[in-house]
Amino acid sequence: MAIADVFSRSSTTTGPGAAVTPLSAFGERPAREGEHVEALYAWVDEIAALTTPDRVHWVGGSRLENEALLREMVDEGRLIKLNPEWRPGSYLARSHPGDVARTEGRTYIASEREEDAGPTNNWVAPDEMRATLTPLFAGSMRGRTMYVVPFSMGTVGGPLSHIGVQITDSAYAVASIGIMTRVGVDVIDQIAAGKPWVKTVHTVGAPLAPGEQDVAWPCNDEKYIVHYPDTLEVWSFGSGYGGNAILAKKCFALRIASVIGRDEGWLAEHMLLIRVISPEGKKYHIAAAFPSACGKTNLAMLRPTIPGWRVETLGDDISWIRPGDDGRLWAINPEAGFFGVAPGTGESTNVTAVETLWGNTIFTNVALRPDGDVWWEGLTDETPAELTDWEGNPWTPASGRPAAHPNSRFTVSAGQCPQIADDWEAPEGVPLDAILFGGRRATNVPLVVEATDWSHGVFIGSNISSERTAAAEGTVGELRRDPFAMLPFCGYNMADYFAHWLRVGKALHVSKRPRVFQVNWFRKGSDGRFLWPGFGDNSRVIEWIVRRLEGAVDAVDAPIGRLPRIEDLNLEGIDVPQQDLEELFAVDPESWLHEADLTEQFYSTFEGKVPPRLYAELEALRYRLKRAQQA
Ligand code: GTP
Ligand code: SPV
Ligand code: MN
């Protein structure tokens, strides 16, 4: 008997033999009145008429409804219920092997004007795109249930919050959205009251003929992830995975929200958010932008290895940042859960994540243990002798392939994180003290460097490059530019985005602007090993950053910014050889001049739209590098 069969029998929380509520008992359209809600009803009817599902289910967001949905997915073979003894309330999903990550090549910004999408986005005119998508969506939900999911990013009704509705034919997406956002009928009340909302439509693109047997993970070889920023819409076809299907996340909270932010004077960023508490009890708030699979979740859950320091988690992927009445920048995490990378998450690297995942978690594309628990590379030091791999095949350490997909993920409520800040849902957010930019750089970029001022910080952000990871399709390890870690997520012309960043900062009084730093945990020695221990020891870098904010330590002026004096880094309890430390902070003017040339090339792709201020920063950098070269 398969594990799924064993555990699905004990899957109800109502106890053995008790009657369970079927999913069909839920799903009624909430009865509300008024023109705003009528517009929502009309839109839902219109999408149903186009996609022709067998039934329409309005998701109310209750716990019982969620349990019924999960139970149905187990019964239909879409989820495997994990052994509740090890992992209560938790499930494993296995995706189609061709649907394992975001598909950036199939992601479009369909703005009216091509120059509003810019050279870093795929652009197609909205009319043309609609002409392509309409026939694809026509009948795409045949044989399936169409779910209508009202959700809020940020607490419902909060001053920085925004709402949306996702239509989807994927129950997996519904369950995921239920964890990642705040789903409920109170959102419909907001719509009825006239609050603007974002329309998102998702289909896996796999209609069923009458009597046709479904597969566990339906999807389509053809994929389209399309954003219409001018009408605040997202249309996603063909994929069930992550950011392609949970449209509140990258599509709404970054691509569409960045456009709203541009127009309203705020920032939607690919940033984690933490509170750092010093041994003196002082609190600092730091947001950090690293590209996908470059350490946001890990830093968000940092457990300092230095005595007296504490970190509280506020968010691990997205921050919405807005100037407050006090002239500071205030940030919220608009999400309600974590969709985190599993491989590399373990007791020795991120014990907080491991503890967060004790139960109530949906795992996707990890390996299954014979005892009905999950496993992935890096979870434990010891590799289990026998597993079922992410594709459902028998696996042993001799198999010569990873047991979990490199982009396998966990989906879990943020509230389950043992170090989540008590006030993480505070609607007004937290005031930012520092902003960090980083990426995966084997060479050149030092462990930490401080920007000299806001413009220099924006220049650094615009220059972030990082080695590609498995979070999106493409060649892993290849260096690419990923400005602000937003290359795949900026919903408008990136040169305008740079200008927007300059503007937002300039509007703040100098004393209230967050200080900007660049960090790099991933520098390698000539022998290919990481020079810095990383993870909990990144607290040593955070300590230096906080001491800089406090004015407690000096820094050394270097051509690329301000570097720490090595003696100011707290290295107690770790053993990083002097030579490695020097390599960690080495700045080679020659390589940096080469980087400056690449920056110029990159800027030139925007055809004169990059703000002159950033060109001035580039020239100043070159000047300082040449001076250093001559010295
Ligand atoms: P997305 O969810 O894709 O946006 O990724 P993320 O930025 O949240 O990255 P995450 O924290 O999940 O880390 C991705 C990978 O980088 C994992 O395999 C981690 O183990 C690894 N990683 C994170 N922090 C460090 C670090 O300080 N040093 C090293 N060497 N690896 C790290
Ligand atoms: C990322 O790739 O940056 C993620 C995962 O956080 S996804 O939601 O799929 O975009
Ligand atoms: Mn991310």
Q: What is the CATH number of the domain that holds 393?
A: 2.170.8.10
Residue 70 lies in a domain: yes
Question: Can you tell me which residue has the tokens 């209560």?
Answer: 88
Instruction: Tell me, in angstroms, the distance from the centre of ligand 2 to residue 74's CA.
Output: 25
Question: What pLDDT, on the 0 to 100 scale, is given for residue 631?
Answer: 85
More confident residue, 303 or 631: 303
Is 510 in contact with 477 (CB distance < 8 Å)? Answer: no
How many residues are recorded in the chain? Answer: 631
C-alpha span between 208 and 33 (Å, rounded): 35
Q: Is the pLDDT of residue 12 over 50?
A: no
| Cβ of 358 below 6 Å from ligand 1 | no
For residues 331 and 341, membership in a common domain is answered with: no
* Cα dist from 605 to 119, 346, 501, 566, whole Å: 7, 41, 19, 38
Q: Where are the beta strands (DSSP E) in 354-461?
A: 362-364, 367-368, 374-375, 387-388, 394-395, 409-413, 430-431, 434-438, 448-450
Question: What pLDDT, on the 0 to 100 scale, is given for residue 269?
Answer: 99
For residues 156 and 288, membership in a common domain is answered with: no
Final residue of a structural domain among 225, 242, 264: 264
Q: What is the CATH number of the domain that holds 186?
A: 3.40.449.10
Residue 576 lies in a domain: yes
Question: What pLDDT, on the 0 to 100 scale, is given for residue 18?
Answer: 61
Is 443 in contact with 523 (CB distance < 8 Å)? Answer: yes
Name the residue with the closest Cα to ligand 2, atom 4. 292
* Cα dist from 35 to 38, 42, 47, 151, 308, whole Å: 5, 10, 18, 20, 56
For residues 467 and 538, membership in a common domain is answered with: yes
For residues 171 and 281, membership in a common domain is answered with: no
Band (16; pLDDT cuts 50, 70, 90):
low
For residues 444 and 381, membership in a common domain is answered with: no
C-alpha span between 117 and 122 (Å, rounded): 7
Residue 309 lies in a domain: yes
Question: What pLDDT, on the 0 to 100 scale, is given for residue 13?
Answer: 47
For residues 258 and 273, membership in a common domain is answered with: no
Mean pLDDT for the chain overall: 96
Is 104 in contact with 241 (CB distance < 8 Å)? Answer: no
Q: Is 13 exposed, middle or buried (0-12, 13-18, 19+ CB in 10 A)?
A: middle
Question: What pLDDT, on the 0 to 100 scale, is given for residue 605?
Answer: 98
Residue 197 lies in a domain: yes
Is 477 in contact with 443 (CB distance < 8 Å)? Answer: no
Name the residue with the closest Cα to ligand 1, atom 13. 295
Q: Is the pLDDT of residue 389 over 90?
A: yes
The residue range of the domain holding 322 is 269-335+424-630
Residue 81 lies in a domain: no
Residue 84 lies in a domain: no
Q: Which pTM does this prediction carry? A: 0.96
Residue 240 lies in a domain: yes
For residues 160 and 177, membership in a common domain is answered with: yes
Question: What pLDDT, on the 0 to 100 scale, is given for residue 19?
Answer: 76
For residues 111 and 227, membership in a common domain is answered with: yes
DSSP string over 579-630: HHHHHHH---HHHHHHHHHHHHHHHHTTTT-S-HHHHHHHHHHHHHHHHHHH
Ligand 2 atom at minimum distance from 250 CA:
10
Question: What pLDDT, on the 0 to 100 scale, is given for residue 6?
Answer: 44
For residues 363 and 241, membership in a common domain is answered with: no
Residue 53 lies in a domain: yes
Ligand 2 atom at minimum distance from 409 CA:
5
Classify residue 577 by its DSSP letter: -
Final residue of a structural domain among 385, 416, 447: 416
The bound ligand whose nearest atom lies closest to the alpha carbon of 243 is: 2
Name the residue with the closest Cα to ligand 2, atom 7. 243
Mean pLDDT on 243-250: 98
Final residue of a structural domain among 222, 239, 264: 264
| Cβ of 298 below 6 Å from ligand 1 | yes
Q: What percent of the chain has pLDDT over 70?
A: 97
Q: Is the pLDDT of residue 11 over 70?
A: no
Question: What pLDDT, on the 0 to 100 scale, is given for residue 131?
Answer: 98
Q: What angle do CA 228, 464, 291 make, to 5 degrees?
A: 60
For residues 407 and 466, membership in a common domain is answered with: no
Is 192 in contact with 227 (CB distance < 8 Å)? Answer: no
For residues 441 and 582, membership in a common domain is answered with: yes
Q: Is 127 exposed, middle or buried (0-12, 13-18, 19+ CB in 10 A)?
A: exposed
Q: What pLDDT digit, counting tens, does each position of 256-270 carry?
A: 999 999 999 999 999
Instruction: Tell me, in angstroms, the distance from the centre of ligand 3 to residue 467's CA.
Output: 15
Active site residue 294: yes
Q: Which residues of 401-431 are buried (b: 16+ CB within 10 A; e: fewer)?
A: ebbbbbbbbbbbbbebbebbbeebbeebbbb
Give me the catalytic one of 219, 251, 294, 417.
294
Name the residue with the closest Cα to ligand 2, atom 8. 243
Number of domains into which the chain is organized? 3
Ion ligand 3 neighbours, Cβ < 5 Å: 292, 317
For residues 279 and 351, membership in a common domain is answered with: no
C-alpha span between 423 and 27 (Å, rounded): 32
